[in-house]
Amino acid sequence: QVHLQQWGAGLLKPAETLTLTCAVNGDSLSSYYWNWIRQPPGKGLEWIGDINRDGSTNYNPSLKSRVTISVDTSKTQFSLKLSSVTAADTAVYYCARSEGLRFFDWLYLWGQGSLVTVSS
């Protein structure tokens, strides 16, 4: 059974770079897009971006200048880097797998979530 396990630093200072990794256990990364979504405390969900096993990416325009999503097929992992973080980037970050036809797809499989706090 496929499941996603994510990890990364939970406390950052302003201007640092957020790095999170999501391991895909039980899947070879094939045929899907792999996503990052975040949720500020008490607020709604925001899609950050996605990537496929070939490294093709798609980013939220509002974050595009600071986001890099990469994939390591040998480790069946994908990662998120968000640079120059501020307090506004404090959120629970989720990794998730898309299923279905591109642009009509849905997020069925989710990681457990990682709380990242930005504070001086």
CB of 118 vs other proteins, minimal distance in Å: 21
Which residues fall within 8 angstroms of residue 54, CB to CB, at 6 or more apart?
A: none
Q: State the sign of the Cα–Cα–Cα–Cα dihedral 115, 22, 67, 84.
A: positive
- The burial of 96, by beta-carbon neighbours within 10 Å (0-12 exposed, 13-18 middle, 19 or more buried), is given as buried
Compare residues 15 and 102 and give the one whose CB is closer to other proteins: 102
Compare residues 16 and 47 and give the one whose CB is closer to other proteins: 47
Q: Which residues of 68-85 are buried (b: 16+ CB within 10 A; e: fewer)?
A: bbebeeeebbbbbebeeb
* Whether 116 contacts 19, CB under 8 Å: no
Sites of contact with other proteins (CB under 8 A): 35, 43-47, 49-50, 58-61, 94, 100, 103-104, 106-108, 110-113
CB of 116 vs other proteins, minimal distance in Å: 15
CA distance 101 to 98: 9
Compare residues 90 and 110 and give the one whose CB is closer to other proteins: 110
CB of 109 vs other proteins, minimal distance in Å: 9
CB of 13 vs other proteins, minimal distance in Å: 26
Compare residues 3 and 81 and give the one whose CB is closer to other proteins: 3
